[in-house]
Chain A
Amino acid sequence: MSSTSAIEEKRLDHVQHHFVDSDQQFESAKMGMWVFIVTEVLMFGGLFAAYIAYRAWYPELYLEASTQLNAFWGGVNTLVLIGSSLTVAMAIRSAQLNQIKGLIINLYITIGLALTFMVIKYFEYSEKLYKGIAPGSYYTYDGLEHEKANIFFSIYYMMTGLHGVHVTIGIALMIWLVIKAKKNVFHEGYYTPVEITGLYWHLVDIIWIFLFPLLYLID
C-alpha cells in the first residue's frame, strides 16, 4: 500500500505548486507554446513580406536567380523534414504509451534527420559561397544577367538562415530530451517537454514547406 502511494507521488512530482493538477499544467504549457508560435509566425512573416514585396518589384529576377538553387536537394530536404516530423509525432506517441525506449529511438532518428538537413544545407551554402553568391554587397558572382541578383540571395540567405538556426536549436532541444528520457523523467502522465518540443519542430517543418516552393520552384 505504501509503495503504491510512493509511486503515485513520483508520478505527480512534476506538478508545480501553482497548478491545480497535472492536466492544467500541461494545458498551460501548451498554450504558452502556441503563444510563442504566434511570435514565430510574425517574425518569419516579416521576411515573407520582404520576399513578396521584392517579388512584386522584380518578378524576372526571381525567375532567373532561382535557377541557381538546386530543386532536387531542396526537395530531398523537404522529405527529410517531413520524415522528422513523423518521427517526432511517433516520439510523443511513445511517451504517451510509456514506451521510453521507443521515445529515445524516435528522438535519435529525428536528430539524425535534422543533421542530414543541415549537412545538405551546408553543401548548398558552400557551393554558392564558393561561386561568389553571397548576400548583399558581398555578392561577386557574374553568371546572372540581372543587376539586382544579390537581392534575391539576401532574401534567400535570411530566410533559410533563420530557418537553419531554428533547426539547430531543435537539435539541441532533442538532445536535451534524450538526456531527460534516459534519466526516466518522462512517463504517460508527464511528457510536456516532448510535446512542446514537438510543436516547435512541426512549426520548423511548416516554414520549410513554404520556403521550398517559394525559393526553389520558381519557373
Chain B
Amino acid sequence: MSGHHISSAKFLWGIAIALFFLTFVTVAVTWIEIPDPWNVVVAIGIAIVKALLVLLFFMNLYWDSKFNSLLFVFSIIFFLLLIGITLLDTLFRIDPIPSF
C-alpha cells in the first residue's frame, strides 16, 4: 500500500504504446461500418479501456491506497445517476423536443 510506487520506464512506455494503439483502433473502427447503436458502444468501450489504463498505471491507482479508487468509483456512480435520471426525463416526454 505504498504510495511511492516507482514504475520502470519500460512499463510506462508499454502503457503509452497500448494507448497509441487503441487510439488507432478507435479511428479504424469508424472505417468499418458498424450498425447504429453499436458504433457508439464500441467507441465508448475502447475509451473506457484507455481511461482504465491511465487510471490504474499512470495515476497509480493499481498500487495506491484503495480509498482513492473508492473515491473515484463513487464519482462515476454519481455521474451515471446524473445521466440515468436525466434520460428518464428527457427520453419519455410527451412533447419530446423543446424549442431550444
Contact = CB atoms under 8 A, between A and B. Distances in A.
Given A57-B96, A202-B59, A45 B82 contact: yes
Contacts of B7: 89, 93
Contact of A42 (B54, B75, B87): B75
Interface of B: 3-4, 6-7, 9, 12-13, 15-16, 19-20, 23, 26-27, 30, 39, 43-44, 46-47, 50-51, 54-55, 58-59, 64-65, 67-68, 71-72, 74-76, 78-79, 82-83, 86-87, 90-91, 96-97, 100
A93 B82 contact: no
A175 interface: no
A49 B82 contact: yes
A89 B76 contact: no
B91 to A, nearest CB: 6
A41 B43 CA distance: 19
Contacts of A89: 7, 12, 15, 58
A209 B67 contact: no
Nearest to A95: B6
